Amino acid sequence: MASDGFRPLDEKSLLDYIRSTPSLASKLGNQLDDLQVKEVGDGNLNFVYIVIGTAGSFVIKQALPYIRCIGESWPMTKERAYFESRALREHGRLCPEHVPEVYHFDRTMSLIGMRYLEPPHIILRKGLIAGTQYPLLAQHISEYMARSLFFTSLLYHTTLEHRKEVAEFCGNVELCRLTEQVVFSDPYKVSEYNRWTSPYLDEDAAAVREDDDLKLEVAQLKSSFCERAQALVHGDLHTGSIMVTQDSTQVIDPEFGFYGPMGFDIGAFLGNLILAFFAQDGHANQENDRKDYKDWILKTIEETWNLFRDKFFALWDEHKDGPGEAYLPAIYDNPKLQLLAKQKFMTDLFHDTLGFGAAKMIRRILGVAHVEDFESISDDSRRAKCEQQALHFAKMVMKERRKFKGIEEIVSTIREIHLKSKGE
Amino acid sequence: MASDGFRPLDEKSLLDYIRSTPSLASKLGNQLDDLQVKEVGDGNLNFVYIVIGTAGSFVIKQALPYIRCIGESWPMTKERAYFESRALREHGRLCPEHVPEVYHFDRTMSLIGMRYLEPPHIILRKGLIAGTQYPLLAQHISEYMARSLFFTSLLYHTTLEHRKEVAEFCGNVELCRLTEQVVFSDPYKVSEYNRWTSPYLDEDAAAVREDDDLKLEVAQLKSSFCERAQALVHGDLHTGSIMVTQDSTQVIDPEFGFYGPMGFDIGAFLGNLILAFFAQDGHANQENDRKDYKDWILKTIEETWNLFRDKFFALWDEHKDGPGEAYLPAIYDNPKLQLLAKQKFMTDLFHDTLGFGAAKMIRRILGVAHVEDFESISDDSRRAKCEQQALHFAKMVMKERRKFKGIEEIVSTIREIHLKSKGE
């Protein structure tokens, strides 16, 4: 490690680092006495420090050359910090309201200095477990997705710019490989990393490993993930990668960022909301049956997709004579054809979204990394019942996704599965 | 030009170049007196010299920073020679029987030295116009396509290797852009470069520019061309990029090589054979009605696809436990599932092939670069009748391609359109 100039920091050496880095020191008004430094990395991969001074604050995120939650036995390139900084800056440029500003990036140290998202910002997933409503969430996240995906696709890029960016982000291959393994492979085979609520889900896990139709679908999704450079996706847009307050929605942690299919991001977000929905019965108690909250989650799912579609179409209309080379105005030269082109594009994207969303749900129930939504349900049998509903829904949607015409049909399917399960 | 060390050669300066280049001189047994040098570039883009000595021979191909057939007014990066040499070497490694050996590459000079394909090798397109049968063509070209596409796809590549290669070939973006323009854009709009057999095809050209269904299909094909890095494709696999004898089939000129959809290559080849078929009535005369020859072309179309499919499947079977990461053996773990996966893959590839093949046909009738198959028919009205049949077929196939189940249905559709046209 020493040979390339990289050294892992701790709370003490971080202070020396800040002192010798003007772009960081200036963010603290150069008042470097009495700094509060706190390591808070509760994610799976990195070390994260909050640094608060009397005249300013920031967050320092450092990638180590392995996966933090597993240890040095699972090496992982620290170059991921470079791609995270690239994605943060690109998405931040396109959607500054919903991406924290990057103040400093040090490639040698795999270290990013960025805006500290002050309280009451919390991880969205924790808010969903607590049963907190975020009335602007659908509005904000649809804005982030529409802008980050539209402007990095061939609807806005020239093919020259696009291939240049694609080539650069091909360098983030190791993180892509991690996704390939844990999302598209491990849940469908015997793997030492897989786990599930046993013995309750033993048969469900075995059924997935023997479901030929499901395996054919997941092969197609994996192929699209590996081959299709449609837009600069966040690559890990679950509810743990979003921080929220009542007024603010901030997307963090795009270290899995690469040029991939748009539906991978939208599906990750919606799939994790659906997981949150099916987990609610595990959080219900005598004081709060979570009925209203479940309705709010379903409303947010519906609004997110519909707002995304509307915002994406609005960007398309606004920039139809712009640099994008996918639909040249001289060819797509009448309003009827433009509408048909948009509808065809959006139908395909909807089906991609459902497929990727389903894959993300399945892996969170049967794969290596589970979600706190379910993990925080302490009773195994109660948790298993929630997980089984989610798994049933996800399997069906992955296989039948091309039959769904709109998000309303998805929401009513979720309701049906949930009601049926409660009736049994 | 001088600043980067590049200088365009002529027959005289080429001799000096050979004298100072041991890898070339040695191919001539270092006997450099009495060399025959002949410039033969009849393609659209480059200068090509045949060099023959008493003890050896080779071909020198030099790319100039513009398109030869148009001139300096249409600049085109000479870096294409680098990607051509890369693709020649990679495809040559995978299929040495059907790709000429590269002896020498000089990136500064954009210059490739490679095997001279001695007489009676001729360009396949010229053989098709002359009415010459090549009994091994389907066997050979299907072998080339199966091996070059299989081994550069995720059926054989790890995703690590794949993304590395994809990134490298993203550099060939200018040649990709040329394809995007002349194949997927210009024929569907008014363009100064378009031409067709006027006035006979004036209405046909206008109809294409007003065909909303066709434009929706071509948008999807273009998107796949620009976004989907499925395999290292030749990128220009028409019948002018293949040299043949009765025993030999050699694929040349992969300067458009990049990671794209497999169907783009297969479609280019089959589409150009279909153009050759529809051109035959223009070459028929009292001595030869070309009836048998048309049957041979159709048989070759059918055999090429079916042999490609069989060879591709055989490679898949042979390497199913190999490095490829698309279908992990632990997941695709039973013969029934493996068969289903292969069938699904091949059905999608067949439909891609038909779509791209149709696009390549349309552009050869309405776009900038026409084919000698038609151009050599001197009578305008006779040529127009041939072109109209081909255009009618291509438009229908692009729109209806997903309904076709096998190449036999394509061949009978070609026969029907042809018979119907003769009956009118």
Q: B190 — phi, psi (to 5°)?
A: -70, 125
> What per-residue confidence (pLDDT) applies to B68?
76
> pLDDT tens digits, residue range B306-336?
999 999 999 999 999 999 999 999 999 999 9
Q: Is the pLDDT of residue B423 over 80?
A: no
Q: Is the pLDDT of residue B379 over 80?
A: yes
CA dist A317 and A321 (Å) reads 8
**Number of CB atoms found within 10 A of residue A55's CB:** 11
Nearest residue in B to A332, CA atom: B215
Of the candidates B231, B295, B243, B287, the residue with the CA atom closest to the CA atom of residue B94: B231
Alpha carbons within 13 angstroms on the beta-carbon side of residue A382 total 14
The answer to whether B118 faces chain A, any CB pair under 8 Å, is: no
Alpha carbons within 13 angstroms on the beta-carbon side of residue B342 total 17
Extract the runs of DSSP E, i.e. beta strands, from A122-257. Answer: 122-123, 231-233, 242-244, 249-251
CA of B119: how far to CAs of B39, B102, B248, in Å?
16, 19, 11
Q: Which of A163, A262, A402 to mutate to test the interface with B (most CBs of B within 10 A)?
A: A163
Query: Chain B residues with CB inside 8 Å of A174's CB?
Result: 160
> What per-residue confidence (pLDDT) applies to A67?
79
Of the candidates A348, A356, A350, the residue with the CA atom closest to the CA atom of residue A407: A350
Query: Chain B residues with CB inside 8 Å of A154's CB?
Result: 223, 226-227
- Under an 8 A CB cutoff, do A215 and B337 touch? yes
**C-alpha angle B34/B37/B40, rounded to 5°?**
160
- In chain A, what are the domain boundaries? 34-114, 122-421
> pLDDT tens digits, residue range B292-303?
999 999 999 999
pLDDT category at B73 given cuts 50, 70, 90 is confident
Give the contacts of B172 (CB within 8 A, at least 6 positions apart): B79, B80, B83, B256, B257, B258
The conformation of residue A372, written as its DSSP 8-state character, comes to H
Residue reference for tokens 């005598």: A286
- Under an 8 A CB cutoff, do B154 and A227 touch? yes
Rg (Cα) of chain B, in Å, rounded? 22
CA dist A191 and A189 (Å) reads 6
What is the three-state SS of B13-51?
HHHHHHHCCHHHHHHHCCCCCCCEEEECCCCCCCEEEEE
Nearest residue in B to A208, CA atom: B331
Q: A63 — phi, psi (to 5°)?
A: -90, 130
> What per-residue confidence (pLDDT) applies to B1?
43
How close A332 comes to chain B (CA, Å)? 8
For domain B122-421, say whether CATH 3.40.50.620 is its number. Answer: no
Top CATH class, B34-114 = alpha beta
Averaged over successive runs of 10 residues, the pLDDT of chain A (424 residues) comes to: 79 95 96 92 81 96 85 86 98 98 97 97 98 98 98 98 98 97 98 97 98 98 98 98 98 97 98 98 96 98 98 98 97 97 98 98 97 98 98 98 98 97 74
Of A167, A173, A337, the CB nearest to B215: A337
Query: Helix B380-400 and helix B335-366: axis angle, to 10°?
Result: 150
List beta partners, residue A114. A59, A102
Query: How high does pLDDT run on average in chain B?
Result: 96
- Under an 8 A CB cutoff, do A216 and B160 touch? no
CA dist B96 and B115 (Å) reads 12
List beta partners, residue A47. A62
Strand order, beta sheet including B122-123: B122-123, B242-244, B249-251
The answer to whether B206 faces chain A, any CB pair under 8 Å, is: no
- Under an 8 A CB cutoff, do B341 and A216 touch? yes
The answer to whether A294 faces chain B, any CB pair under 8 Å, is: no
**Number of CB atoms found within 10 A of residue A375's CB:** 14
The answer to whether A192 faces chain B, any CB pair under 8 Å, is: no
> pLDDT tens digits, residue range A104-122?
999 999 999 999 999 999 9
The answer to whether A340 faces chain B, any CB pair under 8 Å, is: yes
* Residue environment code for B3-17, b if the CB has 16+ CB neighbours within 10 A, otherwise e: eeebeebeeeebeeb
Same fold, A34-114 and A122-421: no
- Under an 8 A CB cutoff, do B167 and A163 touch? no
> What per-residue confidence (pLDDT) applies to A1?
43
CA dist A107 and B239 (Å) reads 49
For chains A and B, count residue pairs whose Cβ atoms are closer than 8 Å: 121
Of B188, B331, B333, the CB nearest to A331: B188
The answer to whether A328 faces chain B, any CB pair under 8 Å, is: yes
Q: Which of B226, B332, B351 to mutate to test the interface with A (most CBs of A within 10 A)?
A: B226
Which helix or strand (DSSP H or E) is residue B161 part of?
A: helix B159-169
How close B256 comes to chain A (CA, Å)? 15
Give the contacts of A296 (CB within 8 A, at least 6 positions apart): A133
As a residue count, chain A comes to 424
Nearest residue in A to B340, CA atom: A216
Nearest residue in A to B155, CA atom: A223
Type of residue at B382: R
Of the candidates A375, A136, A382, A420, the residue with the CA atom closest to the CA atom of residue A275: A375
The answer to whether B226 faces chain A, any CB pair under 8 Å, is: yes
Query: Reduced to 3 states, what is the DSSP secondary structure of residue A147?
Result: helix
Of the candidates A240, A250, A268, A302, the residue with the CA atom closest to the CA atom of residue A141: A250
> What per-residue confidence (pLDDT) applies to A351?
98
Q: A22 — phi, psi (to 5°)?
A: -55, -40
Query: Chain A residues with CB inside 8 Å of B154's CB?
Result: 223, 226-227
Of A162, A171, A227, the CB nearest to B230: A227
- Under an 8 A CB cutoff, do B154 and A226 touch? yes
The whole-model pTM stands at 0.97
Q: Is the pLDDT of residue B69 over 90?
A: no
How close A267 comes to chain B (CA, Å)? 19
> What per-residue confidence (pLDDT) applies to B56?
96
CA dist A223 and A131 (Å) reads 37
- Under an 8 A CB cutoff, do A160 and B177 touch? yes
Of the candidates B136, B123, B157, B96, the residue with the CA atom closest to the CA atom of residue B307: B136
Range 67-86 of B in CB contact (< 8 A) with A: none
Residue reference for tokens 């929630």: A386
List beta partners, residue B223. none
**C-alpha angle B139/B143/B148, rounded to 5°?**
155
CA dist B225 and B236 (Å) reads 13
CA of A240: how far to CAs of A27, A128, A265, A269, A370, in Å?
27, 10, 13, 10, 11
Nearest residue in B to A225, CA atom: B228
How close A80 comes to chain B (CA, Å)? 15
Percent above pLDDT 70 for chain B: 98
